[in-house]
Every structure is written in structure tokens, then in C-alpha cells.
Amino acid sequence: MTKYLLLTAALFASAPALRAQNRPTPKLLVGIMVDQMRPDYLTRFADDFGPDGFNRLRREGMECRNTHYNYIPTVTGPGHSSVYTGTTPRYHGIVGNSWYDRRLRHDVYCTDDTTVQLVGTAKGMGVSARNQVSTTLGDELKMTYGGRSKVLALSLKDRASALPAGHMADGAYWLDTNTGDFISSTFYVPQLPAWVSEFNAQKKAAAYRSQIWTPLRGPEAYRNSLPDSNRYERIFKGKAAATFPYDFNKLAPQNPPAFESMYTSPFGDDLLTDLALAALKNTDLGRDDVPDLLAISFSSPDAVGHTFGPLSKEENDLYLRLDLDLARLLQALDQTVGKGNYTVFLTADHGASEVTRYLADHQAPVGSYSQAALNQAANAHLTAQLGPGQWIEAERNHMYYLNRPLLAQHKIELAHAQQVLAEFLRDQPGIAQVNTTSQLLNAGYTTGLEARLQMGLYYPRFGDVRFELLPGWTGDIGVGASHGTGYAYDTHVPLLWWGMGIPAGVSYAPHTITDIAPTAAMIVNSKLPSACTGQPIVEVLSSPPAGKSRRK
């Protein structure tokens, strides 16, 4: 017994997670998400980053290098929801950027809300977080501190703003690509606050569009990327090749909407950073002892990745410029909130594949299939097995929605029809995994694609049969990056923690993206989001012994 007690005491003494400490509460928590960022960008471009952006976070903070999404699909809407709710689509309900609604018999976009109106523009569907059925980190912060905490979300994309903002935010703003203005909805504000209107009046989007995108640095800064001229990039209408320079004022009329270039260039990151700095200057975020939340999501890296690919000179240049924007943001936080008074986490909503044409040219395993042909063959098989009829009602996100009224009319059990379709799909080229919804609801998967599919299942919005392609397979062996799978290239994302109370170090322990919200909740001393399934990251919450750092 004595030996056991001594061993237990030694374990407790050596574990920093168990060391007693009085953790200070930051005045402001800043959540930064970079759309379609892969962890290798932090190391590939590190020598060419400056000291005050990404490298500052890595040098002085905690880097969790083995962080993954634990569900399918890995796309923007579910990614932002999962980070801020601390759970997967199975519990927060955002199963994709859009999904098929059986009751309405048409698609629903993840932030669609017919009960509210847009603010700052005259047309468009209302936007809110109402489809997100869990509370968020910001919601819980508001409730914990009696409504005194301020919650603000900013992005170019509406879903990357509304979903992190949650249900109780003081504001959520995103870009109208037709006008270049930042807008909102009545779910958040009855009208644009003066500081947003004043920002819009400066017409910064138009000023950025008038700039010509040329490489920021000399050739040595792009040594880890492909040559500018290659066959793996989408060519804008109005250009003969996907090469620098890019004059978006000239390209805009042929590549609508008018301010689409804010997505497909680094200038969108510049514009969003300007908005964040305006918010810090004109609001009282981080000005008192009640913790606030500022959620910022940079969307341009996603569009640039889809257009040019992860190995492109354009993507490389975008990250060199984003590094400068990040440095600007941290400097502004130092000046407005104060050094040592705020905490930052930075992550991504998903990763990205390499360009499939590039992989094929280099003999890597890739393949393609036709979704339309597969749909036609699947319905033909069901007709042969079940009798005449349009048995498939819809296909979305690699999910088949069966025609349930027709099944009921013919007295065919749903589980049987699901199994018939699943068996057909398993025999098709390029398909790695097929599961019926009945299987995913009833089985207890813990690893592999099955577990990730299961964690993506929110029954009211889910199809009847879900399939996953082999690694590297896509609808077209073409140009630009893609994402959405359960493979490492899409699930593996960066995760950096920095600022007040965060030790310097590197963690290689496995973590899921759903661990971010509970960790952040511990930092700001709030309740966990209502459907939270993640666990706090102890390395982030543990201070090293005085005078020591875990980063080598």
C-alpha cells in the first residue's frame, strides 16, 4: 500500500495538468478560423513568415499538432459549428453547408431563416444560427455572466459568422459580394450599428479590388510551391493563364458577382482584418473584467485553395499576406485590450486534398466517377429489385434519400430498401465505405470511417444510405483543391493557443476539434455548450513549473 501511495503521489507531482494553479480570466477570447488551412502551411512557409504573426503564436503559445475532425463531412458549416459548440453534427444538427429537407422537399442552406430579414441590403434569404440545435461557447458566456459578456462574429461568409456567433450574440457580420458592404440580419441586430455603417461608407472593398495582385516577395519565398505557370489551376474568365498578375477590376465583369475577388484573392483577408480592427476600436470588447468573445473567420484561403490548389504560388502568397494581417490583428489587440489580457486560439474548419490532376500526373492513387451516372444506375437497380418507381427522392453530400411515401405505398420496409441500395453501392468502382442510416443509428463504432459517418448523422436531416469514396477519388480529376472526406488530408487541421494563461509548448497527443470549446470554456470560466461532447485539452490549461517552458 505504501508503495502504491508513493507511486500515486509521484504521478500527481509530475503531471502539470494536476498542479494546483489560480488561472486568471482573460478580458477577451479571440477565436480565429482559417477556412481550408492545413497544418503543413505552418511549417512550409515558416521561414518566410515574419516574427509577429503565425510564428509569434507558435513561438510563445501551445501548438497542438495532432488535431483532427472526427466526423464526415469536413466542410465549412459543420466545421464552424463543431468548433464553437464542442460537438459533432450528430448533436448540433449542421450536417452540411446544405441538406435535403424531406418535409419541404427541397434543399435548405445551413443558415437559412425565413423568420428574419437581412440588415444592410435589400434582398436575400434571412440568416441566423437557428438551424444549429446546440448552444455555443458565446451563448454560454452570455448566460454565465448575466448577459454582460459581449459576443461578436466576423467573416466574409454568412455561415462562418452566424454559426460561431450562435443564438445570443451582440452582432454577426458578413460580406455582401454584390455591394462590397458588410451586412447582418434581424436575428442579431435591428439595424447596422454606426461603426459598421461608417466602415461600409469607406468603400474599402472597392479600393482593394482596384489593387493588382502581384507576388509579395521575391522567388526565394515560393521555393516550396509549384511554378506560377502549371496545369493545376483554374483560369479566370478574361485571362489566358492562371498566372500573376491579377487585375480584378478588369476581371470583375466576367467573374461575377462584383466583389467575388474578395474571396479569390488575399485582399478579402485584408478587408476582414480592417473590419476586426474597426470593431476593436469602436466597441468596448475586452474593456472590462467580464470576458468577451470575438470570433473571426478568414474565408479567402478556401476560395484561393479551390481555385489554385495547396501547392500553388497563389496559395503561398496568400499565406504570406495573411501572416501580416494576423500580425496587424495581434498588434491591435495589444494596444486596445492590452498585452497579457487576452487569449487566442487559431484553427481551421477543414483541410484540403492535393489537386487530383497533380496526383494523377505523379502516379499517386486517384480516380473519378460520375455522380449523375451513379444516381441513374442506383435507381435502376432499385427498380429491378423493388419494382417500377422513382425510389430515390434526392442525393446530397454522398447521401441518398429514399422515397419513403413510395416505400410505404408498396409496403416495403425502409431498412430492406436501404440494404438493397447499400449492397449495390458497395460493388461500384471508387466506393470505399457504405452505411445505411439504420446501421449508423444502432451500431457502436469507435474508429474508422464508420465512426466519423456516425458522428455526422443528425437523423432529421440525414439520408438513408451514405457512401464514402476511396482516398483521392473525386467527381473529376481536375484543377484546384477539394475537401469533405473523412481522410487525414481533410480532417487534420492546425490548432494554436496563445496569450493569457497559455504555456509555451508543443503537443503531439491526439485531439479532436470538439475539444476546443470545452478548453475555451475552462479558460473563460463559463458553462459548456449544451451538447458538448469534447474534453478540455490539459496541455493548454496547465502551466509549466516557474521559469521553465515546454517548447524546445
Residues 231, 199 share a domain: yes
pLDDT value for 529: 98
Q: 205 phi and psi, to 5 degrees?
A: -60, -40
Kindly state whether residue 13 falls inside one of the protein's structural domains: no
Residues 438, 302 share a domain: no
526: which 3 cell numbers? 463559463
Residues 409, 354 share a domain: no
Residues 385, 319 share a domain: no
pLDDT value for 238: 96
Residues 402, 264 share a domain: no
Active site residues: 76
Q: State the total domains in the chain.
A: 2
Residues 342, 222 share a domain: yes
Residues 454, 316 share a domain: no
Residues 340, 420 share a domain: no
CATH code of the domain in which 382 resides: 3.30.1360.150
Tens of pLDDT along the chain (552 residues)? Answer: 333 333 333 333 444 444 435 678 999 999 999 999 999 999 999 999 999 999 999 999 999 999 999 999 999 999 999 999 999 999 999 999 999 999 999 999 999 999 999 999 978 899 999 999 999 999 999 999 999 999 999 999 999 999 999 999 999 999 999 999 999 999 999 999 999 999 999 999 999 999 999 999 999 999 999 999 999 999 999 999 999 999 999 999 999 999 999 999 999 999 999 999 999 999 999 999 999 999 999 999 999 999 999 999 999 999 999 999 999 999 999 999 999 999 999 999 999 999 999 999 999 999 999 999 999 999 999 999 999 999 999 999 999 999 999 999 999 999 999 999 999 999 999 999 999 999 999 998 999 999 999 999 999 999 999 999 999 999 989 999 999 999 999 999 999 999 999 999 999 999 999 999 999 999 999 999 999 999 999 999 986 544 444 444
Kindly state whether residue 1 falls inside one of the protein's structural domains: no
Kindly state whether residue 365 falls inside one of the protein's structural domains: no
Residues 226, 155 share a domain: yes
Kindly state whether residue 22 falls inside one of the protein's structural domains: no
For residue 29, the SS3 value is strand
Buried b (16+ CB within 10 A) or exposed e, 28-58: bbbbbbbbbbbbebbebbeebbeebbbbbbb
CATH code of the domain in which 179 resides: 3.40.720.10
Kindly state whether residue 6 falls inside one of the protein's structural domains: no
Angle value at C-alpha 196, between 191 and 198, nearest 5 degrees: 110
Residues 324, 248 share a domain: yes
Kindly state whether residue 418 falls inside one of the protein's structural domains: yes
Residues 314, 247 share a domain: yes
pLDDT value for 424: 98
Residues 416, 344 share a domain: no
For residue 178, the SS3 value is coil
- Longest CA–CA span in the chain (Å) reads 80
Q: 419 lies in which domain range?
A: 370-428+431-469
> Cα dihedral sign for 186, 191, 195, 201?
positive
Kindly state whether residue 547 falls inside one of the protein's structural domains: no
CA distances, 64 to each of 35, 298, 457, 491, 538 (Å): 18, 20, 27, 14, 11
Of 7, 80, 71, 95, the C-alpha closest to 399 is 95
pLDDT value for 20: 38
Kindly state whether residue 394 falls inside one of the protein's structural domains: yes
pTM of the predicted model, to two decimals? 0.94
